[in-house]
Amino acid sequence: MIELDDATLRSHLLAALAVERWVDDVAAQAPFADSDALITVAAAAATPLSAAEIDEAMAHHPRIGEKPVGDGAAQAFSLREQGSAVDADDETLAQLLVEGNAAYEQRFDRVFLIRAAGRSRAEIVGELHRRLGLDDDTELRIVGAELRDIALLRLQSTFAESAPAGSAPAGSAPAGSASAESAPAVSAPAGSAPAGSTSAESAPAEPASAGHDEARA
């Protein structure tokens, strides 16, 4: 049973996804029987996020390849998520990310966001370049799905001790499923098909169409 006072629960939720409406919706259904119950509610409340909510959440995600500003829980998630890539120190990939981030920001007028945990930098660069060719509406849906999946993975990490050993996360779906607005997979092997290739912060999840920890995570 996950039984927290309202302030503590909201703090954990905001670190996962800084969208006030979503935090209100999830907190209103507390307490939760276990982490699966929480993740099920959280996924439903984040599917989909509005354009305004995406902007709200994106303000709290650093560029992929850059250190987050501050010392809070969300920043700690981003550091872990981005640092998990086996090729995180590759200087050539780092430069490609800098160039790709700049091109993406010019194209879409926001920072590139992708679920970084479980992905190599090479995969992230490849997905960044692919998504540069998408139309605005498709890319917005992918970003919303990435934000949701990052949030669910952060909640799973925070409340993992509440889940029975060997239990599968509630609401999970196969990576590469057809819609960015379908229930997200909260765990997927690294190297699986990029989210949003039917499309990608911060443990692996494949958004259905597609992303603090995200290339922001």
The CATH number linked to 87 is: 1.10.3330.10
Instruction: Please tell me the total count of domains within the chain.
Output: 1
Higher pLDDT, 103 or 171: 103
Report DSSP state, residue 159.
T
pLDDT, residue 44, reads 98
Residue 76 lies in a domain: yes
Q: Whole-number mean pLDDT of the chain?
A: 77
The pLDDT assigned to 85 comes to 62
Whole-number CA gyration radius for the chain: 16
Quick check: is 15 in a domain?
A: yes
pTM of the full structure: 0.72
Give residue 68's pLDDT band: very low, low, confident or very high (50, 70, 90).
low
Regarding predicted confidence, which is higher, 141 or 191?
141
pLDDT confidence band for 195 (50 / 70 / 90): very low
Does residue 80 lie within any of the structural domains? yes
| Residue 193 resides in a domain | no
Tokens for 59, please give them: 């303000």
Residue 142 within any structural domain of the chain: yes
**Cis peptide bond prior to 48, omega within 30° of 0:** yes
Tell me: pLDDT of 158 over 80. Answer: yes
- Of the CA atoms within 13 Å of residue 166, those in its CB half-sphere come to 0
Query: Do 196 and 173 touch, CB atoms closer than 8 A?
Result: no
CA 28, CA 7: separation in Å to the nearest integer?
12
* Residue 87, domain extent: 6-162
Q: Are 171 and 43 in contact (CB under 8 A)?
A: yes
pLDDT greater at residue 184 or residue 55: 55
Residue 181 placed within a domain = no
Res 204 pLDDT > 50: no
Residue 182 within a domain: no
Higher pLDDT, 31 or 209: 31
Give exposure, 95-122, as e/b (b: 16+ Cβ within 10 Å). ebbeebbeebeeebebbbbbbbbbbbbb
In this prediction, residue 90 has a pLDDT band, given cuts at 50, 70 and 90, of confident
pLDDT tier for residue 183 given thresholds of 50, 70 and 90: very low
More confident residue, 160 or 29: 29
What is the rounded average pLDDT of the residues 173-201? 37
- pLDDT classification of 22: cutoffs 50, 70, 90: very high
Q: Does residue 211 belong to any structural domain of this protein? A: no
Euclidean distance between the first and the last CA atom of the chain, given in angstroms as a whole number = 29
